[in-house]
Structure 1
Amino acid sequence: MLTLLTATGARPSAWALCERWMAAQDYAGPVRWVIVDDGEVRQPVTFCREGWSLDVLRPSPRWKPGQNTQARNLLAGLAVIGNDARLAICEDDDHYAPDWLSHVAAELERAELVGEVRARYYNMATRRGRELGNTGHASLCCTAMRGAAIDTFRQACLRSPKFIDLELWRRHRSRHLFGGHRVTGIKGLPGRGGIGMGHKAAFTGTDDTAGSLLREWIGEDARAYG
């Protein structure tokens, strides 16, 4: 079984797309999806797929504009996830290729902490995209773990740094990084803003008014973003 952990809230448009990308996954095994939603209004969870179970947690107090509750929400999810899980982080505003879960499940056979390098970010509000040069760590949206790495992740969340992924990858030694560009960070969608640089209006990258870069990166799924 794979376990997914998603921290979400106040992003109904992004959440609907997240459900769509998970429904398209070709992973054939059972999946437990732990969803932590701290928005004032409950996300409209409509996902239903044979072999998948959903646990929706509603921590309080609810998120307010200007707050960063990511660490609190991830810890709420980790409280119901054991170290025997094979855990993949699934962020609500990113695009996942259909073979992502199958691929990451195989990669977890190689190390306790695995992730995809050279992150791609695309801001829908500014229509700019950029591939980053990270080769020593993976963004949280394309990170998976098992065993002791889950404890390392829990400790990273308890420290509550702004960038939990950097803390996790800096501290855990059983690790494996791989390429492939199966995950694209989609930023600037309607609703609650994010904390990463890809969300900022000043985010620099390739101008893509016509949408050709996004189509190159995620194919026909680009149509879902308008």
Structure 2
Amino acid sequence: MHVTPTERGGVLPAGGLRPAGYWAEQLRSPVRYQDAVVTAAARGRAVLVEVGPGSGLIGSARQIPEARQTPAVALQPRRGDLLSGLGALWASGVELDWAAVRAGTPAVRAPLPARPFAAERHWLDTPAARDAPAPVAPVPVASAPVADPAADDEDRTVRQIAEIWRSLLGVPTVGADSDFFTLGGESLLFIRMIAQVQRRFGVPVRIAELADAPTPRAIAAHVIGG
């Protein structure tokens, strides 16, 4: 994305060159990140991709209303996270070079057997009305399990924390064990999230104790434990 003082968020044409003095001007001027994201989101079937060790740019992009419906994927350097990111790109309609993805691995394409359907007839030839109805044995009624008030309190707290996360991160789904940073959060959003949790439940939350396990379940346990 190429940004100039007269054309905020403009697109650099394929093969185009940046004008002389572009980088020097960029160092002295504010970064027009929002303008660039809005331009990208308006280009039809766009997918925002962040390549690097973090996901702070994706988290910032999700705060921009025009880009909340645009798929955003963070490609992390760890192999498991990288493959998950490639899967998210494929699910968003991006064509991938699978030969390059599988390069150096023994993975091969294997045909799977089709589901067999046996050609057997299962229709009843005798009308059911001719047969006397068989006596129906009484079905034992199992006693209802006793509700656990502590579990209900934890589930309710997890749902409220997940609601705060959806609002901050702009994501549609947050699970009890979802990782805040994997969903696109970054350090400043994490601090804002903790502040909202403290206001919602009226209890102090120590950031240092949750940085290694930033999930709604872990935060809920912290809140319930006081």
TM range (shorter): under 0.3
Higher helix share: 2
Q: Which has the higher contact order (CA 8 A, sep 6+)?
A: 1
User: Bigger radius of gyration, 1 or 2?
Assistant: 2
Higher strand share: 1
Question: What TM-score do you get using the length of structure 2 for normalisation?
Answer: 0.25
Question: What TM-score do you get using the length of structure 1 for normalisation?
Answer: 0.25
